[in-house]
Amino acid sequence: MIAIRQADLVGDRQVVLDLVRDNLTDEATVERYEWLYRKNPDGDGKAWIASDEASGETVGIASAYPRLMQVAGEQVTCWNLGEFAVSASHRSLGPALRLQRACLGPVLEGTVAFSYDNPNEGFLAVYRRLGIPVTAQVARYLKPLRVDRRLARWIRSRMIARPLSLLGNGLLRLRDVPLRVGRRFEIRPHEGPFDMRFTHLHERVSRRYTVYGGRRAEYLNWRYRENPLHRSRVLTAWYKGEMAGYVVFHHRLVDGYITDLSTEELPGLPLELLAASVETLRRVGAFTVSAWAIPGSPLVTVLRGAGFFQMKGYPLVVCTKPGGPLEGLVTEAGNWFVTRGDSDT
């Protein structure tokens, strides 16, 4: 028999760390735990622990992180669902269903406005059993910056591969020349904390979208500056002396990742920020750069204009109280603005 209880974030810290490290990632450190569960400016995280009553063994965890969102112009607190794992000894649909029901209970009861999740394909079986459909597919958009890695797979001889790589890399750079012509905005690197200018930008930009994740300075500092897993770079765009947008990205091994993009509604602005981030990633040796968006979003047009092409991404599953005030708003894919920075951490 499986028992479910809500975790004590202090007393159960090691229990959560062990479950996550054994079943999800070896990056489950104390530093990451404290950042993820206890330092979020939108509120402490939540976790539910599953135990085998017969043996007392802890066998599973489900977690949620509060997130302030703008929904139809109103600020609400939702849950961004995150770490979910069941030990191999109990990896069947039953324990997973019980854990997810416990996690979604406050959402289905209306205590929490809604939740959103980016589950893997295997976990979708749990949502199907709960009768909760996929809201949207968040596609990955990829842009190659260097051909070295692909050529190395095809051509064994380095003497042949090297000149071909130089030629291919040069052609990829030439494709980006039009992106650097006729720039209207001043692009600057942003060092140090996010400040109130980012909060004011969020307040203006969020009005354009029905469902938009909170991007106030406090949240951005937590999400990007205090993140113990990687250091993000930030470029800002300026127009007539005012900050008009920014892009957040990072470089890991030989790949670059654009995690956030927020701009005023000015023609050419998102494209110029993308082009500047791509150029920075190329200089530090990235072979590819990826960004994420819901197909049909205005962001997709910008990504395609910058030479990104669509690849498989991940699902977005939104849950709210059936018949509640947000049903039909948060469960409609076209209402969402999504970047990688909105996904679980």
Question: Tens of pLDDT along 47-57?
Answer: 999 988 878 78
At 157 the pLDDT is: 44
At 181 the pLDDT is: 54
Residue 73: exposed, middle, or buried by beta-carbon count in 10 A (0-12, 13-18, 19+)?
exposed
Backbone angles phi, psi at 164, to 5 degrees: -65, -35
Do strands 288-293 and 255-263 pair parallel, antiparallel, or not at all (unpaired)?
parallel
Q: What is the pLDDT of residues 222-244, one digit of tens each?
A: 999 999 988 899 999 999 999 99
- Rounded to two decimals, the pTM is 0.90
Q: What is the mean pLDDT of residues 108-133?
A: 93
pLDDT higher than 70, residue 152:
no
Q: What residue ranges define each of the domains in the chain, with the CATH number in brackets? A: 2-132 (3.40.630.30), 139-314 (3.40.630.30)
Do strands 242-252 and 233-239 pair parallel, antiparallel, or not at all (unpaired)?
antiparallel
pLDDT higher than 70, residue 149:
no
At 294 the pLDDT is: 95
Higher per-residue confidence, 91 vs 294: 294
At 56 the pLDDT is: 79
Return all residues near 308 (Cβ < 8 A) that are at least 6 apart: 141, 142, 143, 289, 291
At 164 the pLDDT is: 45
Q: What is the mean pLDDT of residues 200-214?
A: 96
176-183 contact pairs (CB < 8 A, 24+): 176/275, 176/278, 176/279, 176/307, 179/271, 179/272, 179/274, 179/275, 179/278, 179/306, 179/307, 180/275, 180/279, 183/272
Most confident residue range from 87-91, 142-146, 154-158, 186-190: 186-190
Q: CA-CA distance, 217 to 195, in Å (whole number)?
A: 5
pLDDT higher than 90, residue 153:
no
Rg of the chain taking only CA atoms, in angstroms: 22
Single out the residue of 202, 227, 228, 204 nearest to residue 215, CA to CA.
Answer: 202
Single out the residue of 37, 58, 23, 76 nearest to residue 228, CA to CA.
Answer: 37
At 158 the pLDDT is: 53
Q: What is the pLDDT of residues 311-345, one digit of tens each?
A: 999 999 999 999 999 999 999 999 999 999 998 66
At 2 the pLDDT is: 83
Q: What is the pLDDT of residues 240-279, one digit of tens each?
A: 999 999 999 999 888 999 999 999 999 999 999 999 999 9
pLDDT higher than 90, residue 155:
no
At 116 the pLDDT is: 97
At 151 the pLDDT is: 45
Backbone angles phi, psi at 29, to 5 degrees: -100, 165
